[in-house]
């Protein structure tokens, strides 16, 4: 199944459209995305696996691989590091983003297959589908849905499914 995200901030779920937050700098097609630019990448990105905060939410119902995150989990965002765009343990000697956050946006994360096969240093890291902030503010380059909408997507998701990000507006 393909879940389509449109540039005007909507995602097509199997039965309806839902709002989708994206990067503060909009969407662009690779190779124009670079680390830290705030761009959400245009393209089709496999849904690799699900990470979740077991201390806050129940294990999601999904056909994707799933694992709980721990307080020392992070994601390397240092382009010159050999673990760039990979999950790591904190503290880490290079720049890394903590996955265990005080806010709720990383309580449920879908790791997208962006810049991972092969990893290109500096082309962008930690591009996830995660929970939207309460005000649906822009992300740093990820895609974000309301918690309930993300759960709905995951119930339908199976291995081999993908997120397709398009530069066009949705057709109502």
Residue 76: domain span: 2-165
Would 85 be classed as within a structural domain? Answer: yes
What per-residue confidence (pLDDT) applies to 30? 82
Q: How many domains does the chain have?
A: 1
Whether the per-residue pLDDT at 172 is higher than 80: the answer is: no
Tokens, residue 114: 């962006």
Q: What pLDDT digit, counting tens, does each position of 113-122 carry?
A: 999 999 999 9
Tokens, residue 1: 């199944």
Task: Give residues with Cβ within 8 angstroms of 78, minimum separation 6.
Answer: 84, 94, 95, 96
Q: What pLDDT digit, counting tens, does each position of 11-59 carry?
A: 999 999 999 999 999 999 888 899 999 999 999 999 999 999 999 999 9
Would 171 be classed as within a structural domain? Answer: no
Q: What is the pTM of this model?
A: 0.97
Would 11 be classed as within a structural domain? Answer: yes
Would 47 be classed as within a structural domain? Answer: yes
Would 92 be classed as within a structural domain? Answer: yes
147: CATH: 2.40.440
Q: Using CA atoms, how far apart are residues 22 and 145, in angstroms rounded to an integer?
A: 9
Q: Using CA atoms, how far apart are residues 153 and 100, in angstroms rounded to an integer?
A: 22
Would 136 be classed as within a structural domain? Answer: yes
Give the residue from 151, 143, 116, 159 showing the smallest Cα distance to 4: 143
């Amino acid at each position: 199944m393909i879940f389509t995200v449109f540039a005007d901030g909507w995602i097509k779920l199997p039965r309806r459209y839902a709002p989708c937050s994206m990067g503060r700098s909009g969407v662009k097609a690779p190779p124009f995305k670079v680390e830290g630019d705030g761009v959400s990448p245009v393209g089709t990105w496999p849904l690799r696996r699900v990470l979740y905060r077991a201390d806050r939410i129940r294990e999601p119902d999904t056909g994707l691989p799933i694992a709980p995150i721990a307080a020392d989990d992070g994601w390397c965002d240092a382009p010159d590091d050999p673990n760039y765009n990979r999950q790591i343990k904190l503290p880490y000697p290079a720049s890394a983003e903590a996955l265990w956050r005080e806010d709720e946006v990383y309580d449920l994360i879908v790791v997208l297959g962006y810049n991972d096969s092969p990893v290109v240093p500096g082309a962008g890291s930690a591009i996830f589908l995660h929970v939207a902030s309460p005000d649906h503010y822009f992300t740093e380059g990820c895609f974000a849905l309301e918690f309930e909408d993300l759960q709905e997507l995951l119930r339908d998701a199976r291995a081999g499914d993908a997120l397709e990000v398009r530069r066009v507006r949705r057709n109502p």
